[in-house]
Structure formats: structure tokens, C-alpha cells
Chain A
Amino acid sequence: MRPDRRGTPPIRDMEFSKKNKRAVTRYLLGVGDEEEQTAMEEKYLSDQEFFEQVVAVEKELLDNYARNRLSSRERELFERHYLAHPKRRARAMTASALATTLDRLQPVDVEAETSPWLRNLFAGFRGRRLAFGMTVAAILFAAGEAWFFLETRQLRSELTQSRVARTRAEQREKELQGLLAEQQGRNERLSSDLEKLSAAQQKPAPRSAPTFVSLLLTAGLVRDGGQAETSRLVIPAGIEQVRLRLKIKEGGYPRYRVSIQTADGRILRTLPNLRPNAANVFTIALPSRLLTSGEYALALSGINENGESDSLSKTLFRVESKALPVSRIPLRSSRTIR
């Protein structure tokens, strides 16, 4: 997979053709058939330079989305496909923040700092004395120029920092006002939900069916290379509690910490002080409403006597929930983020 450093010139040296760029954009936007996708993957997985070009196209796509420069069709595909993955969405959010921050800065002058004009200015002088005098003057001038350059650079850096701070403060104020208005609306909705919930709780619910489901997981499957299939937990309607049972090969730590994470990296719950039973099994009880349909990871860490933690395993499992969610959980997979 390593590019040949002695052989053909890297692709970066050549113009990345418009055709290639279009093909990469199609790939990133999830357009195209399996054959097309596989061909693209074979190319970038085996060619580091081509891979860098694909990443460059991705960054350009992200920046164009953040700056509202995509065509309506591209925007639609971007929002439907690209933003549907949490990692890709995080990149888009970062690109949006970067565009916001950079667009508020003064354009950076990146002209090369060479002064050929200084040499040309003195090229016409021929007399020795004059040349000596001019040389001294030139040295003094160059020293002055260097001092001026350093001073300017320092000032520019301070100015940039101050601009960033000011724009951030302005934006914070604006967004806080927005938050306040949103919060008021939210309070009203919550009051309404609370009333509905109280009314529902007045009615006695029949409790003949079991109220929990459980899933037994074995720690370390993901990283150990023995994973065959992700374990699946089905939560039927009416189930109130989920019991996750995590089996470890051996103990050895005085206590353990278990975290339940969503596929986009959010930590739903952390249980900081657990001990396994005699069969080396942890039991973690959770309200079922916490787990909506999707993929989750159970991360296990061992805590030693000094309070230091060692990451031990991350076990994936998938939930299929048939329960109606009690809380309002906003759909976060694909949204406009500008």
C-alpha cells in the first residue's frame, strides 16, 4: 500500500482531474453502485497519494457545505447520506465551526517575505564610498525591516486573538438570547407533557408480563478478533428494565467501571464502582427507555488500588426496541447544522 517513492511521480503532482473529483464526490455522497464504490475503495486503500486526494475532496465538500456552496442536489444528498453517520456528522460540525471562525478573521497575508526590490535598488550604485554608505544604510534598513516585521507579526497575532475573542463573545450573546427563547418554549412543552404523564399514571397498569429483559455479553470480543456477530437485544413493548450481564474472563481489580455508549460516542450511563459476582459476571440494570434502537458499546475499565483505570474491553451490542420512548429524543442523524 505504500506509495513508491522512487518510481512514478505521485498523483498529487499531476492535476487531480475533474472526472476523478466527481467520482470521489459521488462516492462520498453515497451515489453509485456497489461496483463503482468497490473500485474507488480498491484505489484509495492501495494508493496513499490517491487517498490523500480523496480526503482533500472530502474537506472541500465539508467546507462548501458549511459555506452554503453546494448545489441543491448535492446539499440534499449530503444531508441525507453524509450526515447520517455520527463520525461524518462530527466532521461536518467541526467544518462549520471552522468556517465560522475563519470567516470572521481578517484575511491572512501569506506573501513570501523576500525583498528582491532592495537588491535591485542598490544595483545601480558603483562608487565604493557610496556603496559602503549604502551598505550600512541597507543593513540598518534591513534590521529595521526585521524589527518591523516581528513587531507586525506580534501585533497581528494579538489582533487575531482579540478578534476571535470578540466574535465569540458576540456570538455567545446572540445564542444565549436564542437559548432563552427556546427554553421558554421548552418549559411550556414540558408542563404540557407533565400533565399528560400525571393523567396516565392515574390509570392502574396490569402487570402480568415480565418487566425486564436481559442480555449476556462476553467482554473483549471486539478487540480479541473472535467476534462473529454483534449480540442483539430485543426490547418488547411494555418492558421497563433491561439487565445487561457482562462476563469477564478473570477478575484481578478491586473494582471496575462500566460505561454504556451510543454509536456516536455519547455516554448514556457510567457505573463507577462495580464488582463482578463469583462467576465473574457484572449485572447492569437500566431503564428500558434509555435504550432506543441502534448500536451500543459496553466499555469496561479496571480500577486499581491507586484509583488508576485500565481500559479492558469494549463490547458491542445492538438494541431493537419496540417500546415507545417516554422522553422526547430528537432525531440527531441528519440535520442542517449551519
Chain B
Amino acid sequence: MTWDLTAEAFAKLLNRLDADPERAGERYEGVRRRLLRFFEWRGASFPEDRVDETLNRVARKLDEGAEIAEIGSYCQGVARMVLLEAYKGRDSLRAPMEELPAEVAAPETNDEAVEKEHYLNCLEGCLNNLSEENRELIIGYYQDEKRDRIKKRFALAERLGLRRDALANRAQRVRDKLEDCVERCVMKIAAI
């Protein structure tokens, strides 16, 4: 039996996350982001779909009137269930090391050089699509300055009027967006 996520069920989920709609939206994004990395780090295929599946199941439970004491823990439990289902019927990507081939780093092939070129081109385009401030942030934050990195990051935080932890969070989010942009761009090229 299938179940469609309705606007009403989604609103219930948001409301359960936080009574304030704006904070609920932020919190939803936070949960989504963490779940996405969870599925990625655990090696599940199609991580975005697994996240949708997890959140849909939680929304469905709430829609059916289930009493959920702690929504965060409940999401975790459902995510683990979805992960197990993803693993079911196939070998886990976290296979013991001894079962993996000893030499996996193959010499660079023609395809690989082309792929690298795609990534460089896409990165260039995506960097140009960032606002000037975000582009400077990425360049300033991630440029390789082994000895002066901490000092430079302090100076960057001061210049942008941010606390150091806020700077780190912002740099990460901009980089996440950059990674998504590059990945979409590369996939688009691969589909042509």
C-alpha cells in the first residue's frame, strides 16, 4: 500500500519540529542535511531518496496521530531502518577491508582526464555564480596557507565581522552549495 505525502502532513511535521514556522523551516533543513550525510557516509545508494523516504515515514506517523516524544530520536530510528532496507539484498559497501581488492588506485585514464576537466570547468562556472563576498570567503578560507592558516582565518573573520565559529559554518555551507552546484553541472555534462 502506498501513501502520498500531503501538504497537511508536511505542515504537521514542520509544526512538530518547531511551532515557529521560520525556525521549523531552518530545523527541517538542518535535519535533512544531517540525514543526507548519514546516508552518504554509510554508503547508501541514492541518499537523497533515502532522506525523502525517512522524512515521509515520519510525516506519515504524525499524520496518523502517533505520539512521538522526541522527534529527533525518532527520525534517527527511522533513518536506521531505511538504511537497513537499503543494505538488504546487497553487499554492504562497508565490507571488511581484507575482502576488497589490494590495488584499487588505477592509473589515470583518458576518461578520467576528461572528467577532471569537467570538474574544473564546472567549478569555475560555479565559483563565478557565487556572490563576490562568498567567492572571497571560499578563496580566503580554503586557500592553502599551511603556516598562516589560523592567523588568516582570524583576520578573515574580523574583516567579515563574524565570530570564528560563524565564519567556519558559513564557509562550510557555501562550500556545500559549491559542491552541489559542481555535481549538478558535471551530471548535466555526463547526460549530454
Contacts and interface: CB of A to CB of B under 8 A. Distances in A.
B19 interface: no
A133 to B, nearest CB: 32
**Contact size class for B?**
35 or more
B106 A336 contact: yes
B89 A318 contact: yes
A304 interface: no
Given A94-B182, A112-B158, A223-B52, A179 B116 contact: no
B62 interface: no
Given A45-B72, A335-B104, A335-B106, A263 B37 contact: no
Interface in B81-96: 85-86, 88-90, 93-94
Given A97-B120, A334-B105, A51 B37 contact: yes
A315 to B, nearest CB: 10
Contacts of B18: 2
Interface bin, chain A = 35 or more
Q: Tell me if A's interface is mostly helix, strand, loop or mixed.
A: helix
B1 to A, nearest CB: 6
Contact of B168 (A12, A67, A80): A12
A225 B75 contact: no
Given A46-B72, A225-B3, 9 more contacts: A1-B27, A79-B105, A93-B116, A94-B179, A110-B159, A164-B124, A223-B56, A314-B49, A335-B105
Interface of A: 1-2, 10, 12-13, 27-28, 30, 41-42, 44-46, 48, 51-52, 54-56, 59, 63, 67, 79-81, 84-85, 87-88, 90-91, 93-94, 96-103, 105, 107-108, 110-113, 157, 160, 164, 168, 171-172, 175, 178-179, 182-183, 186, 218, 220-230, 232, 249, 263, 265-267, 270, 295, 297, 314, 316, 318, 330-331, 333-337
6 contacts: A30-B94, A45-B75, A168-B120, A266-B191, A335-B106, A337-B116
